[in-house]
């Protein structure tokens, strides 16, 4: 009797794993190789997490004005004082003084007053996840002094706090706007490519007309149309709608192109033959097939929206006070004299640049990962 | 080719009509009209606001008539070259825009030339020395250029220009030459001021063009005929510039058509920040005061430029690449 054949060891080596991996596993493997994209993703994750906790991390409310403390430069944190070293970091008090040359008001460190920075202090009231809370990450116990890590603005408001509150708007408008664009663009693109005929013609003409509009002037014109007396939340949503108004067209075109080529594939035919409806083909087969593409385009569109929102807000056409965004914060920099004396007012620009950079790298990495023609 | 162009131009007409309707609707969206805000301003400063006078003005400019009629007045005028009247400046819109159009185009052309002059060599260098320190550094610069908001670049550039180079803050002319008649000194003054807006406007475009050039060159350098040329002993300079660059530029030529209108739109914010006497700030002010004909005509102008730019881009593509057949 012949010995039973021994089953060969299933060779679970690398190429085998790649061959059997699913679409998303492959994309993830490729994505992991792109260190820049990974780091960018991590940085963005941290930024969004901090934004969620902005009420807790920022020491003061966005509109908390410190009288007599306008245009304070960023305060240094010290550990050593005239009395020696301290375990707890502290900031010095401030004394107003006058600069000799220009006669303008500046601040001098008052070394007699030390304010230790305490953590988990009770500060301005704020709402956290629907609860009223007073706990703040750090602060100083002083009635009219503040700890100004980024300095203060024209009205004596802490820039550090305002940057964190501004992040709420700046970082989320991009997400929501792109989400709307993506949903609109992909559904319309798929429908247009799949059904063809007059639906396609109509959509193509509409897209042609919309694409003939120059983006920035159109945004400006639409933003100027927002009534000045509606509340800030409605303004926020209208800005979001305005920004996604033009954005969906390019996504729709690209999706339509992909669908046009996929439409003749055999899997579509087999679904129809098995009695699947049109919507089944669209939602369960076509959209997942172009999903990778859609995610990439969406991710790359987010930084454009962030830049657009900050530009509009900078020009006073976007977010209205008391809501604030990074673009609004930069309005103080419009005057050249202000910029000359108080350069720290440009700090929010650094945040914009970092967020936009990270989204760009992330989008690049995603694009390479999802591209089926680049090697794993 | 000629029939193609003709057909495209004819197709543009209904598109332009649809755009004009949309533009008109958008311009009319803000509640009230120019005279409402003027009245509010006068009321604030306690001046006499004669209701009858305002009503007469409204009647004169058809502002009390139904929207569709107002649209017809405007579009009818446009067809004969009368683009309406600017309430704030009290001059015909066509005059206002024509005044500033020259400088706007000068700036945009300057930015275009700057973009291509800077981006091409850098892109070629980046592609030839891929992954070198220079490549990484230039790529880094390109990303910065792409990611910093335009108005921030404008602010920083203004700062540098005023406090390091002693130029005058904003504007395109020194105060003493601003209203002087055109002479050589004035032209030189203009050029001295022009470089700041040109660089700022061209910055983002340069960055993206550089990346595109680099990618295009990399694709071409991998091709067989480059290897063959080198194997045959051709000087490297010849290989790069006579063969590789000429093929790499081909797909990029069609971008030229679109870049001009994009630069004009993109220059609006920069012009506002730098206080330049171009069409951008004019448009911004028109939006603020609801000077509808001015704003509407400017939007139409830009949309027309974009459509023409698309057409030029397609023509350039067909001219540069003999494989493309225009149908």
Q: pLDDT averaged over consecutive 10-residue blocks of chain A (376 residues)?
A: 62 67 76 84 93 86 84 83 76 80 78 80 77 81 81 88 91 90 89 85 87 86 82 83 85 86 83 84 80 84 90 86 87 82 88 92 84 59
Chain A residues whose beta carbon lies within 8 Å of the beta carbon of residue B288? 224
In A, minimum Cα distance to B290 occurs at A224
Across the interface, do B149 and A222 touch by the CB < 8 Å criterion? no
Identify the burial level of A312 via C-beta atoms within 10 angstroms of its C-beta, where 0-12 means exposed, 13-18 middle and 19 or more buried.
buried
What's the average model confidence in pLDDT over B185-206? 82
Q: Are strands B85-86 and A131-140 parallel, antiparallel or unpaired?
A: unpaired
Cα angle, residue B183 at apex, residues B177 and B184 outer, rounded to 5°? 100
Q: Is B97 on the interface with A (CB under 8 A)?
A: no
Mean pLDDT of chain B, nearest integer:
83
Q: Taking CA B285 as the corner, what is the angle to CA B281 and CA B290, rounded to the nearest 5 degrees? A: 145
Mean pLDDT of B123-131: 86
pLDDT at residue B154 greater than cutoff 70 = yes
Cα distance between the two ends of chain B? 9
Write the CB contacts of B218 (distance below 8 Å, at least 6 apart in sequence): B127, B130
pLDDT the model gives residue B146 = 85
**Closest CB from A215, A222, A349 relative to B149:** A349
CB contact under 8 A, B302 and A333: no
pLDDT digits (tens, 9 = 90+) for A230-279: 777 888 888 888 888 888 888 888 888 888 888 888 888 888 888 888 88
Choose from A202, A213, A217, A238 for mutation: most chain B CBs within 10 A: A217
Query: Does the distance separating the beta carbons of A353 and B19 come in below 8 Å?
Result: no
What is the pTM assigned to this prediction?
Answer: 0.84
Residue pair B274/B170 in contact by the 8 Å Cβ criterion: yes
Of all residues in chain B, the one with the smallest CA distance to A361 is B143
Is the separation of the CB atoms in A219 and A313 below 8 Å? Answer: no
Q: CA-to-CA distance for B108 and B297, rounded, in angstroms?
A: 19
Does the pLDDT of residue B327 top 80, yes or no? no
- Report the alpha-carbon angle A366-B142-B115, nearest 5: 125
- For chain A, say whether B19 makes contact (Cβ under 8 Å): yes
Provide the pLDDT for residue B246. Answer: 85
For the stretch B254-304, pLDDT in tens is 888 888 888 888 889 888 888 888 888 889 988 888 888 888 888 888 989
The predicted structure's pLDDT at residue A376: 46
- Tell me whether residues A336 and B266 touch, CB distance under 8 A: no
Range 166-225 of B in CB contact (< 8 A) with A: 169-170
For Cα atoms B218, B224, B227, give the angle at the middle one, nearest 5 degrees.
85
pLDDT value for A241: 87
pLDDT in tens, A194-221: 888 888 888 888 888 888 888 888 888 8
**Nearest alpha carbon to residue A357 among B141, B125, B49:** B141
Angle made by CA atoms B281, B287, B290, in degrees to the nearest 5: 135
What is the reported pLDDT for A167? 92
Chain B contact present for A18, CB below 8 A: no
Q: Which residue of B has its CA nearest to A364?
A: B143
CB pairs under 8 A between A and B: 120
Backbone angles phi, psi at B190, to 5 degrees: -60, -45
Q: Residues 21-40, chain B: which have Cβ within 8 Å of A?
A: 22, 26-27, 29-31
Question: Is A217 within 8 Å of B147 when comparing Cβ atoms?
Answer: no
Kindly tell me if the per-residue pLDDT of B109 is higher than 60: yes
Q: Do A212 and B15 touch (CB under 8 A)?
A: yes
What pLDDT was estimated at residue A355? Answer: 93
Bridge partners (DSSP) listed for residue A126: A133
User: Is B155–A334 a contact, with Cβ atoms under 8 angstroms apart?
Assistant: yes
Decide if A54 contacts A128 (C-beta within 8 A).
no
Nearest Cα residue in chain B from A227 = B30
């Amino acid at each position: 009797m012949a010995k039973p054949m021994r089953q060969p060891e299933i060779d679970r080596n690398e190429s085998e794993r790649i061959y059997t991996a699913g679409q998303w596993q492959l994309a993830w493997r490729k994505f992991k190789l792109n260190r820049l994209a990974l780091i960018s993703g991590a940085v963005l994750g941290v930024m969004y997490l901090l934004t969620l906790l902005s009420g807790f991390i920022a020491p003061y409310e966005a509109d908390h004005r410190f009288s007599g403390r306008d245009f304070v430069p960023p305060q240094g944190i010290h550990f050593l004082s005239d009395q020696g070293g301290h375990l707890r970091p502290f900031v010095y008090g401030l004394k107003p003084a006058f600069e000799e040359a220009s006669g303008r008001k500046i601040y001098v460190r008052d070394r007699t007053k030390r304010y230790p920075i305490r953590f988990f202090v009770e500060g301005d009231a704020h709402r956290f996840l629907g609860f009223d809370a007073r706990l703040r990450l750090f602060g100083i116990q002083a009635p009219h002094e503040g700890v100004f890590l980024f300095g203060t603005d024209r009205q004596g408001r802490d820039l550090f706090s305002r940057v964190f509150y501004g992040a709420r708007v700046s970082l989320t408008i991009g997400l929501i706007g792109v989400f709307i664009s993506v949903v609109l663009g992909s559904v319309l693109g798929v429908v247009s490519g799949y059904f063809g005929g007059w639906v396609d013609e109509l959509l193509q003409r509409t897209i042609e007309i919309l694409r003939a509009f120059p983006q920035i002037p159109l945004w400006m014109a639409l933003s100027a149309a927002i009534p000045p007396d509606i509340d800030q939340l409605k303004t926020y949503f209208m800005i979001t709608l305005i920004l996604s108004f033009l954005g969906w067209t390019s996504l729709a075109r690209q999706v339509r192109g992909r669908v046009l080529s996929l439409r003749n594939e055999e899997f579509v035919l087999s679904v129809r033959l098995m009695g699947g409806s049109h919507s089944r083909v669209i939602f369960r087969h076509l959209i997942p097939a172009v999903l990778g593409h859609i995610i990439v385009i969406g991710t790359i569109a987010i930084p454009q929206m962030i830049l657009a929102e900050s530009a509009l807000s900078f020009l006073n056409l976007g977010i209205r006070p008391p809501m604030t965004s990074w673009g609004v914060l930069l309005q103080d920099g419009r005057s050249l004299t202000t910029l000359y004396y108080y350069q720290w007012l440009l700090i929010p620009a650094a945040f914009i640049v970092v967020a936009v950079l990270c989204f760009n790298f992330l989008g690049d990495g995603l694009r390479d990962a999802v591209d089926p023609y680049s090697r794993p | 080719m000629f029939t193609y162009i003709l057909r495209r131009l004819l197709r543009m007409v209904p598109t332009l009509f649809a755009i004009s309707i949309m533009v008109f609707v958008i311009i009319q969206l803000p509640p009230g009209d120019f005279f409402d805000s003027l009245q509010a301003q006068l009321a604030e400063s306690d001046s006499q606001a004669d209701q009858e006078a305002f009503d007469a003005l409204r009647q004169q400019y058809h502002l009390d008539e139904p929207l569709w009629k107002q649209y017809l007045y405007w579009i009818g005028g446009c067809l004969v070259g009368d683009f309406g009247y600017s309430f704030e400046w009290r001059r015909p819109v066509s005059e206002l825009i024509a005044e500033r159009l020259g400088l706007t185009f000068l700036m945009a052309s300057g930015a275009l030339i700057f973009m291509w002059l800077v981006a091409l060599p850098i892109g070629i260098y980046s592609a030839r020395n891929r992954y070198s320190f220079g490549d990484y550094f230039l790529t880094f610069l390109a990303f910065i250029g792409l990611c910093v908001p335009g108005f921030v670049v404008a602010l920083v550039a203004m700062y540098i220009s005023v406090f390091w180079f002693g130029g005058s803050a904003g504007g395109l002319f020194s105060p003493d030459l601003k209203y002087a008649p055109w002479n050589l000194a004035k032209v030189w003054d203009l050029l001295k001021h022009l470089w700041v807006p040109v660089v700022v406007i061209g910055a983002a475009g340069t960055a993206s063009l550089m990346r595109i050039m680099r990618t295009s060159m990399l694709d071409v350098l991998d091709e067989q005929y480059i290897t063959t040329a080198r194997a045959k002993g051709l000087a490297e300079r010849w290989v790069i510039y006579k063969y590789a660059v000429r093929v790499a530029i081909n797909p990029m030529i069609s971008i030229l058509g679109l870049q001009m209108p994009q630069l004009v739109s993109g220059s609006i914010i920069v012009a506002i920040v730098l206080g330049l006497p171009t069409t951008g700030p004019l448009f911004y002010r028109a939006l603020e005061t609801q000077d509808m004909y001015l704003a509407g005509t400017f939007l139409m102008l830009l949309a027309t430029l974009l459509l023409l730019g698309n057409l030029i881009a397609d023509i350039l593509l067909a001219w540069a690449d003999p494989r493309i057949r225009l149908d």
